[in-house]
Amino acid sequence: MEDDDITEFTPELLNDFYAECEEHLNFIRQSLATLEKGIDKQETTPLLDRLVRSFHSLKGILGMAGIRSAEQLTHRTEDYLREFSRGTIQLTPQGLDSLANAVQLIEQSITAFRQKQPYPDVERRIQEFDALLVSAQEKKEKPIIANPLGDALQSRVESARGNGFFVWKATFIPSPALNESGINVNAIRSRLTALGEIIHAAPHIGPGGTIAFEFFVALREPPANMDAWIKSGVTWIAIAEPSSNRIQPDTRASPAAQMAVAPSQVIRVELKRLDELMRIAGELVTQRARLEAQINLLAVDGSVDVRGLQEVNHGFARHFRDLRENVMRLRMVPIAEIFDRMPFVVRDLIRGSRKKVRLEVRGHLTELDKYVVERLKEPLLHLVRNAVSHGIEDTDERIGLGKPEEASIALSATTSGETVVIEIADDGRGIDPEEIVLRAKEMGLTKSDTLDNPAILDLISTPGFSTRDEADRAAGRGVGMAVVANTLRELGGTLFLQTELQRGTRFTLRLPLTLLITDALIVSVGGQNYAVPQNSVDEVVQIEEVQVKRMERAELLSLRGVVLPLVRLRRLFGFPVATHSHALVLVSQTDRGKVGLVVDRIVGQRQIVVRSLRDPLIHVPGVIGATELGDGKPLLILDAIALVKQNGTRSRTMEGDYGKGDHDNARFGILHPV
């Protein structure tokens, strides 16, 4: 740690600090992505002004926290952007890369501050900006205050460079206020002499008759504590770097690959949302008064106003639903927190490669639960890395295939009811099923010679599975897709794959908006009640048993021209299969299409509080968690699709092996409440 200032912050101030840093970094990432598109200068002027202000504000709060290295780096980025905003330099690809790398280092510095770890080294990045500013200074035709270097001064500068010195120009503009505090040109000269060797000094008359004193100083290291110098009326401009100390390209792994960013525990809340909560709280107070009146009436004469009690109950139900929805909205954050990072990830991965990639982002304002967003960062990062590393071809290969030279990766998010759909699609080479089959056979994972998309997804999600013999910094270790699949399962989501050779690959993630409270159907199977989240059920249909067709050992239902495999939850859970003339079917979407889940009856529809099974040693396929309905008895929450998929029922149903026997059902005995 650079400073002990963290001990001076209360937890509330620390939370504000992290939230404000995150807010500025999110805006900076969005702005840099916009600048990269190369829109004209007139349109970028307002954006640049806001971007400079955001860096300036970020610099200030980093300084308050005592993160000096990140403060200095942020100061350099601000200097560079100010020159660009003034039109004195052009934003080059090198400059954009330096800005993106600086943002990563600033973010990592904040993470190190939070975790009380050593800060990352930012000196290389600071020197990059110094070099860029030197280059910009050399291209200026008429400096605002400085005159062009004369031959004599130029000779001194070159001599200092040859001896391994940096050359910086310090410009001091005196003022009455500075003079009263004892800061004058002689005091500045003394400070500069202590810092390095003054190789040239001269006064100049600037615009409006202002006097400025210029000092050219040879330094072993670039000047530090820029804010202190600015307060003393001194501004610095880099003139030259040591000729023996050229900046070399950084070929190390990107900072993003070296340090994960700590998840934020703070959410910014709009005032109008808090106002709505206050309104609901007031309504609940009114409802409580009405309930108290009914209780008093009962206590006085023993009479019960059933209609009045029903109205009070309905009022409570309505207000609690409003309360639930508003609390959910408080937890919602835009998925831009993840999406805005991806342009930098893609740029970093293709740097030094023979690939050109255009990243298209849609739906970045789609909101999800904060916890879901934090959990999705690594899975989405891995899928984008896979698309660049595995999916996208080199430019020459794409041209040879008749494809556009520039590849495309599309990242999108949309909402459908209480479900969020996220897609990552590329127009690359696709997944070769023959290659997957070959590697799967080598690992003893399959004996089949052909694979459909769901089977490919199952295999590539197996821990340790990879088609690469050697891993690189982006992919090839065989653990990423397993993490993606496990995270989706833990979040109650589903993962789908569509791929076509030489056409591209699309991953689709379907997730609930929130994990805490959800609408559920209460169903009865074998005399036991279970909850099924309503967002996983497309529809409920009642059928006659005569409509069920049997093909070998599979049971099929034709529903509006679509053939659905049926899974009887009674048989799956090990209950005796009852014979009835009709059945209730929950229609759900799986990665192989729609499937019908047969239950005995629908008990009702309720809002439930999802309580996850937190013991990592206990994992029951198809069980999301548990809840209670008010009678104190636990109720298991089912993910019937996962039951079908993870326990082989899907393959038996789809491929004709359904009903092979009930000996496997012992695995589901834990589903019987005790």
* Tens-place pLDDT, residues 298-330: 777 766 677 777 787 778 878 777 777 777 777
Looking at residue 295, its pLDDT comes to: 77
Q: Which two tokens stand for residue 91?
A: 């934003």
Q: Strand 548-551 and strand 539-544: pairing?
A: unpaired
Lowest-pLDDT choice from 79-93, 336-350, 638-652? 638-652
Q: Strand 562-568 and strand 593-599: pairing?
A: parallel
Q: Which two tokens stand for residue 563?
A: 């053939």
Q: What whole-number distance in Å separates Cα of residue 630 and Cα of residue 529? A: 14
Give residue 251's pLDDT band: very low, low, confident or very high (50, 70, 90).
very low
Tell me: pLDDT of 258 over 70. Answer: no
* Residue 257: count of CB within 10 angstroms of its CB: 16
* Tens-place pLDDT, residues 187-197: 888 888 888 88
| Contacts of residue 221, Cβ cutoff 8 Å, sequence gap at least 6 | 166
Q: What whole-number distance in Å separates Cα of residue 263 and Cα of residue 116? A: 15
DSSP H helical segments within 497-602, as ranges? 569-573
Q: What are the residues facing 19 on neighbouring strands?
A: none
Give residue 674's pLDDT band: very low, low, confident or very high (50, 70, 90).
very low
Contact between residue 413 and residue 421 where contact means Cβ atoms under 8 Å apart: yes
The fraction of the chain above a pLDDT of 90, given in percent, is 12
Tell me: pLDDT of 665 over 50. Answer: no
Looking at residue 659, its pLDDT comes to: 34
Contact between residue 84 and residue 94 where contact means Cβ atoms under 8 Å apart: no
More confident residue, 629 or 67: 67
Q: What sign does the CA torsion over 345, 349, 352, 356 have? A: negative
Looking at residue 426, its pLDDT comes to: 95
Q: What whole-number distance in Å separates Cα of residue 228 and Cα of residue 68? A: 12
Tell me: pLDDT of 3 over 70. Answer: no
More confident residue, 233 or 163: 233
Q: What residue ranges in 139-194 does DSSP mark as E strands? A: 166-172
C-alpha Rg value of the chain to the nearest Å: 32
Looking at residue 250, its pLDDT comes to: 43
User: E strand or H helix at 429, and its extent?
Assistant: none
Nearest to 403 by CA among 411, 412, 394: 394
Lowest-pLDDT choice from 30-39, 101-110, 340-349, 500-509? 30-39
Looking at residue 414, its pLDDT comes to: 92
Q: What are the residues facing 623 on neighbouring strands?
A: 638
Lowest-pLDDT choice from 135-149, 423-437, 516-530, 555-569? 135-149
Tell me: pLDDT of 382 over 50. Answer: yes
Q: What whole-number distance in Å separates Cα of residue 79 and Cα of residue 355? A: 32
Burial bucket for residue 61 (CB in 10 Å: 0-12, 13-18, 19+): middle
Looking at residue 374, its pLDDT comes to: 84
Q: What whole-number distance in Å separates Cα of residue 216 and Cα of residue 67? A: 29
Looking at residue 221, its pLDDT comes to: 81
Q: What whole-number distance in Å separates Cα of residue 174 and Cα of residue 177? A: 8
More confident residue, 652 or 73: 73
Give the 3-state secondary structure of residue 574. Answer: coil
Give residue 425's pLDDT band: very low, low, confident or very high (50, 70, 90).
very high
Looking at residue 668, its pLDDT comes to: 38
Tell me: pLDDT of 664 over 50. Answer: no
Q: What is the mean pLDDT of residues 199-214?
A: 73
Q: What is the mean pLDDT of residues 387-408?
A: 92
Looking at residue 422, its pLDDT comes to: 94
Looking at residue 613, its pLDDT comes to: 66
Helix axes 433-442, 453-460, angle to 10 degrees: 50
Q: Which two tokens stand for residue 493?
A: 């989501």
Contact between residue 378 and residue 384 where contact means Cβ atoms under 8 Å apart: no
* Tens-place pLDDT, residues 606-640: 878 777 665 555 567 778 888 887 667 788 988 86
DSSP H helical segments within 140-262, as ranges? 151-162, 176-180, 185-195, 226-231, 255-258
The fraction of the chain above a pLDDT of 70, given in percent, is 79
Tell me: pLDDT of 663 over 60. Answer: no
* Tens-place pLDDT, residues 4-26: 444 456 666 777 788 888 888 88
Lowest-pLDDT choice from 75-89, 109-123, 241-255? 241-255
Phi, psi of 635 (to 5 degrees): -130, 125
First to last CA, the chain: 54
Highest mean pLDDT among 125-139, 244-258, 260-274: 125-139
* Tens-place pLDDT, residues 356-381: 999 999 998 888 888 888 889 889 98
Tell me: pLDDT of 650 over 90. Answer: no
Q: What is the dihedral of CA 444, 448, 453, 459, to 10 degrees?
A: -10
Tell me: pLDDT of 209 over 70. Answer: no
Looking at residue 238, its pLDDT comes to: 83
Give residue 229's pLDDT band: very low, low, confident or very high (50, 70, 90).
confident
The per-residue pLDDT of the chain, averaged, comes to 77
Looking at residue 500, its pLDDT comes to: 92
Tell me: pLDDT of 206 over 70. Answer: no
Contact between residue 416 and residue 535 where contact means Cβ atoms under 8 Å apart: no
Q: What is the mean pLDDT of residues 374-393?
A: 90
Q: Which two tokens stand for residue 137?
A: 């200074």
Give residue 508's pLDDT band: very low, low, confident or very high (50, 70, 90).
very high
Looking at residue 268, its pLDDT comes to: 67
Looking at residue 267, its pLDDT comes to: 66
Looking at residue 475, its pLDDT comes to: 55
Q: Which two tokens stand for residue 21?
A: 């840093």
Angular region, 402: left φ>0, alpha ψ -120 to 50, beta rest: left
More confident residue, 650 or 125: 125
Burial bucket for residue 378 (CB in 10 Å: 0-12, 13-18, 19+): middle
Please give the single-letter amino acid code of residue 111.
Answer: T
Lowest-pLDDT choice from 219-233, 390-404, 532-546? 219-233
What are the DSSP calls for 351-391, one per residue? TTSS--EEEEEE-TT-EEEHHHHHHHHHHHHHHHHHIIIII
Q: What whole-number distance in Å separates Cα of residue 673 and Cα of residue 671? A: 6
The whole-angstrom distance between residue 91's C-alpha and the CA centroid of its chain comes to 27
Task: For Cα atoms 283, 284, 286, give the angle at the middle one, nearest 5 degrees.
Answer: 65
Q: What whole-number distance in Å separates Cα of residue 206 and Cα of residue 82? A: 20
Contact between residue 600 and residue 570 where contact means Cβ atoms under 8 Å apart: yes
More confident residue, 343 or 155: 343
Looking at residue 393, its pLDDT comes to: 93
Contact between residue 407 and residue 357 where contact means Cβ atoms under 8 Å apart: yes
Q: What is the mean pLDDT of residues 133-138?
A: 60
Tell me: pLDDT of 459 over 70. Answer: yes
Looking at residue 149, its pLDDT comes to: 60
Contact between residue 112 and residue 255 where contact means Cβ atoms under 8 Å apart: no
Tell me: pLDDT of 450 over 90. Answer: no
Q: What is the mean pLDDT of residues 565-593?
A: 83
Nearest to 359 by CA among 378, 377, 380, 334: 380
